[in-house]
Amino acid sequence: TAQQDRQARNKDPYSASEESDSPWEGPGGRFDAYGNDSYANIQLRRDAAVKLDNPELVMMLAMARNDSIPATRHYLTKIMCGYITAEGIAAEEAREKEKAGEVEGANAGKALKAAGKGGKGVSPRG
Protein backbone atom coordinates (compact mmCIF):
# COMPACT_ATOMS: atom_id res chain seq x y z
CA THR A 1 0.00 0.00 0.00
CA ALA A 2 0.98 3.65 -0.27
CA GLN A 3 1.25 3.97 3.51
CA GLN A 4 3.76 1.09 3.74
CA ASP A 5 5.71 2.53 0.82
CA ARG A 6 6.01 5.90 2.58
CA GLN A 7 7.09 4.17 5.81
CA ALA A 8 9.76 2.21 3.94
CA ARG A 9 11.16 5.46 2.51
CA ASN A 10 11.30 7.02 6.01
CA LYS A 11 8.50 9.49 5.32
CA ASP A 12 5.37 10.34 7.24
CA PRO A 13 2.89 7.57 6.34
CA TYR A 14 -0.09 9.77 7.29
CA SER A 15 0.82 12.62 4.97
CA ALA A 16 -1.15 12.88 1.74
CA SER A 17 1.60 14.83 -0.04
CA GLU A 18 3.92 12.92 -2.38
CA GLU A 19 5.89 16.02 -3.42
CA SER A 20 8.45 16.35 -0.63
CA ASP A 21 11.48 14.07 -0.47
CA SER A 22 12.53 15.09 3.04
CA PRO A 23 11.58 12.82 5.97
CA TRP A 24 10.57 15.90 7.96
CA GLU A 25 7.48 17.57 6.60
CA GLY A 26 7.79 20.81 8.57
CA PRO A 27 5.19 22.27 10.95
CA GLY A 28 2.35 20.31 9.35
CA GLY A 29 3.99 16.90 9.87
CA ARG A 30 3.73 14.66 12.90
CA PHE A 31 6.30 15.37 15.60
CA ASP A 32 7.73 12.92 18.10
CA ALA A 33 8.98 14.85 21.13
CA TYR A 34 11.27 12.03 22.29
CA GLY A 35 12.72 10.99 18.93
CA ASN A 36 14.47 7.65 19.09
CA ASP A 37 14.99 7.79 22.85
CA SER A 38 15.01 4.58 24.90
CA TYR A 39 12.06 3.62 27.06
CA ALA A 40 14.16 4.10 30.22
CA ASN A 41 15.07 7.66 29.23
CA ILE A 42 11.46 8.52 28.37
CA GLN A 43 10.31 7.23 31.77
CA LEU A 44 13.13 9.14 33.47
CA ARG A 45 12.04 12.36 31.78
CA ARG A 46 8.39 11.83 32.70
CA ASP A 47 9.35 11.06 36.30
CA ALA A 48 11.44 14.25 36.45
CA ALA A 49 8.48 16.27 35.12
CA VAL A 50 6.18 14.81 37.78
CA LYS A 51 8.71 15.57 40.52
CA LEU A 52 9.25 19.13 39.28
CA ASP A 53 5.50 19.68 39.30
CA ASN A 54 5.24 18.86 43.02
CA PRO A 55 7.32 21.02 45.43
CA GLU A 56 7.09 18.40 48.19
CA LEU A 57 8.66 15.77 45.94
CA VAL A 58 11.44 18.21 45.02
CA MET A 59 12.12 18.80 48.72
CA MET A 60 12.13 15.06 49.49
CA LEU A 61 14.52 14.35 46.62
CA ALA A 62 16.76 17.23 47.73
CA MET A 63 16.98 15.72 51.21
CA ALA A 64 17.67 12.25 49.80
CA ARG A 65 20.44 13.64 47.55
CA ASN A 66 21.81 15.79 50.41
CA ASP A 67 21.55 18.77 48.06
CA SER A 68 19.80 22.14 47.98
CA ILE A 69 16.33 22.57 46.49
CA PRO A 70 17.52 24.85 43.63
CA ALA A 71 20.29 22.38 42.75
CA THR A 72 17.76 19.54 42.76
CA ARG A 73 15.44 21.54 40.50
CA HIS A 74 18.36 22.14 38.15
CA TYR A 75 19.20 18.41 38.19
CA LEU A 76 15.58 17.48 37.35
CA THR A 77 15.45 20.11 34.61
CA LYS A 78 18.62 18.67 33.04
CA ILE A 79 16.99 15.23 33.10
CA MET A 80 13.84 16.61 31.48
CA CYS A 81 15.88 18.31 28.74
CA GLY A 82 17.79 15.11 28.03
CA TYR A 83 21.22 16.23 29.22
CA ILE A 84 21.24 13.46 31.83
CA THR A 85 20.23 9.96 30.69
CA ALA A 86 19.46 6.72 32.51
CA GLU A 87 22.81 5.33 31.34
CA GLY A 88 24.61 8.39 32.72
CA ILE A 89 22.90 8.02 36.09
CA ALA A 90 23.80 4.31 36.25
CA ALA A 91 27.44 5.08 35.41
CA GLU A 92 27.57 7.81 38.08
CA GLU A 93 26.11 5.44 40.71
CA ALA A 94 28.69 2.79 39.77
CA ARG A 95 31.51 5.34 40.18
CA GLU A 96 30.14 6.37 43.59
CA LYS A 97 29.91 2.73 44.74
CA GLU A 98 33.46 2.09 43.58
CA LYS A 99 34.65 5.22 45.35
CA ALA A 100 32.82 4.21 48.55
CA GLY A 101 34.38 0.75 48.35
CA GLU A 102 37.86 2.25 48.06
CA VAL A 103 37.22 4.50 51.07
CA GLU A 104 35.89 1.57 53.15
CA GLY A 105 38.87 -0.55 52.12
CA ALA A 106 41.30 2.20 53.10
CA ASN A 107 39.57 2.69 56.46
CA ALA A 108 39.65 -1.05 57.14
CA GLY A 109 43.36 -1.12 56.28
CA LYS A 110 44.06 1.75 58.68
CA ALA A 111 42.10 -0.02 61.44
CA LEU A 112 44.10 -3.22 60.91
CA LYS A 113 47.38 -1.31 60.99
CA ALA A 114 46.34 0.48 64.19
CA ALA A 115 45.32 -2.81 65.80
CA GLY A 116 48.56 -4.48 64.69
CA LYS A 117 50.79 -1.87 66.35
CA GLY A 118 51.90 -3.05 69.78
CA GLY A 119 51.93 0.10 71.83
CA LYS A 120 51.06 -0.13 75.52
CA GLY A 121 48.24 -2.62 75.40
CA VAL A 122 47.48 -5.59 77.58
CA SER A 123 49.51 -8.61 76.57
CA PRO A 124 47.75 -11.95 76.19
CA ARG A 125 50.21 -13.66 78.59
CA GLY A 126 49.11 -11.53 81.49
- Model-level pTM? 0.56
Position 21 scores a pLDDT of: 52
Q: Give yes or no for a contact between 50 and 57, defined as CB atoms under 8 angstroms apart.
A: yes
* Residues 41-68 pLDDT 10s: 999 999 999 999 999 999 999 999 999 9
pLDDT at 33: 66
Q: In the chain, which residues have pLDDT < 70?
A: 16-34, 108-126
SS3 (DSSP) at 17: coil
Report the share of the chain in percent with pLDDT over 70: 70
Task: Kindly give, in sequence order, each residue whose CB lies less than 8 Å from that of residue 43, ignoring residues fewer than 6 positions away.
Answer: none
pLDDT of residue 44: 94
